[in-house]
A = this chain, B = another copy of it.
Amino acid sequence: MCDAAVTVKVKYSVSSLPIATAKEVFDLVRDDLSAVEREFGRQSKSEVVVIQDIARYLLSGGGKRIRPLLLLLSAKALGFTGESRIRLGAVVEMLHTATLVHDDIIDEAQTRRGKPSANTAWGASKCVLAGDWLYMQSFQTALDERNFKILDLLIGLTQQMVEGELLQMQKLGHLINEEEYFDLIFRKTAMLFKVSMQLGAALAGVDETVEQQLGEYGRNLGLAFQIVDDVLDLVGEEATLGKPAASDLREGKATLAVIHALERGTGAEREAIRTVLADRDFTRVKHATILEILRGHGSLEYAMDAARAYAEAARQSIADLPQANAEAGRALRALLWVPGYVTDRDR
């Protein structure tokens, strides 16, 4: 499914590619991202008031909009500037939001991005349906493009994401190995990054090799993104994260650093980790104890190294992409900037 576990071993090096600055990226996509925000407003219109309320609550929730950003940059790097990029930019964020709503029901999450989660605010029942509605609205918008390739990408993606979430549920509280971890984060996160890039290619109608390069960039970037997310979850503070610290461990989820420590720890250390995963709280073993174990084995740094390796692999995936024009060149340099943003963020 995903050969990620192998790629991790490739040593990364500081990229010598022409990387844009944050300001250049911001200037390049500001108007497009605003247009995507306006598109959310149009898309979340429904004669059923509660849908409109929940959809707007969710879409105004302060997401990083990294998926629409990828789609916009991918399309632009290939010289495509039609309106479809705005609509599909909204679609990938709405799909992402649909999965978040259903995941929050399953995880019984109380907060998301520092606000009460939708299921806290509206109850699980309405959120089941609000998630369904967001899925359907996304497909409706995509269907209006009259492009089977786009639909193939989106339906295939959604199935993988749902299966990923179910696989994760089955593994809660259990020890998993790196291969299982990478399969999970590919389905949960990296595939949507990959498809966001591929949608840009589908809009531009480029040949398969280019689509593959962009998809590979998305996959590598998505893996880096999720590894960093998982490290931040372990070491971050509640105020910065917008959710309780170490919520993965509280939900019984073993992530890369934890798996690393499990494979290297003493019997007592392994037992401590196992206890937290089974208990799903820090009553018997403290959060600080776990962090101490992880630091003792360099596990957090191991995970961050893996993330940086994937970030550089993402850059390399598009290093030799042809540039249609100056604007396309700027988009390409912006894509080279994103991996650094992903690995250096603190939330």
Q: Is the CB of B163 within 8 A of A140?
A: no
A:102-141 near B, CB below 8 Å = 102, 105-106, 124-126, 128-133, 135-137, 139-140
Alpha-carbon gap, A158 to B133, bound state (A): 8
Query: Is there contact, CB below 8 Å, between A102 and B132?
Result: yes
> Which residues of chain B are near A124, meaning CB under 8 Å?
105, 124
Q: Which of A133-171 contact B (CB under 8 A)?
A: 133, 135-137, 139-140, 143, 146, 148, 151-152, 155-156, 158-159, 162-163, 165-167, 169-170
Is there contact, CB below 8 Å, between B136 and A162? yes
- Say if the beta carbon of A46 comes within 8 Å of chain B: yes
Taken together as a complex, chains A and B put the C-alpha atoms of A135 and B106 apart, in Å, by 18
**A128 CB contact (under 8 Å) in B106, B163, B170:** B106
A289–B169 Cα gap in the complex (Å)?
46
The dominant DSSP class at the A interface is helix
A136, B158: Cβ atoms under 8 Å? yes
For the complex, is A48 an interface residue (Cβ under 8 Å from B)? yes
Residues of B within 8 Å of A135, CB to CB, are 132, 135
| Cross-chain contact B133 with A166 (CB below 8 angstroms) | yes
- Asked if A70 is at the interface of the complex by the 8 Å CB criterion, the answer is no
On chain B, the residues within 8 Å of A148 by CB distance are: 143, 146
Cβ-based interface call for A50 (8 A): yes
A51 within 8 A of B: yes
Q: Which residues of B contact A146 (CB under 8 A)?
A: 148
Complex Cα distance, B137 from A165, in Å, reads 16
Interface contact B169-A126, CB-CB below 8 Å: yes
Take A124-B124, A136-B158, A163-B48 as given contacts and tell me if A129 and B102 are in contact as well, using a CB distance cutoff of 8 Å.
Answer: yes
Q: How far is the CA of A133 from the CA of B163 in the complex (A)?
A: 7
Residues of B within 8 A of A166 (CB): 48, 50-51, 126, 129-130, 133
Asked whether A125 lies within 8 Å of B137 as measured between CB atoms, the reply is no
User: A159–B143 contact, CB under 8 A?
Assistant: no
Residue of B nearest to A136 (CB): B159
CB distance from A101 to the nearest CB of B (A): 10
Pair A143/B133 contact, Cβ less than 8 Å: no
* Also in contact, A125 and B143, with CB within 8 A (given A48-B167, A51-B163, A166-B50): no
Out of B50, B129, B151, name the residue touching A143 (CB < 8 Å).
B151
Closest to A163 in B: B48
A143-B132 contact given A105-B125, A166-B126, CB 8 Å threshold: no
Contacts of A132 in B (CB 8 A): 102, 131-132, 135, 158, 162
Q: Which residues of A are at the interface with B, using a C-beta cutoff of 8 A?
A: 46-48, 50-51, 102, 105-106, 124-126, 128-133, 135-137, 139-140, 143, 146, 148, 151-152, 155-156, 158-159, 162-163, 165-167, 169-170
Q: List 18 A-B contacts (CB under 8 A).
A: A47-B163, A48-B167, A50-B170, A105-B124, A106-B125, A124-B124, A125-B169, A126-B166, A126-B169, A129-B162, A131-B132, A133-B159, A133-B162, A133-B163, A133-B166, A136-B158, A136-B159, A137-B159
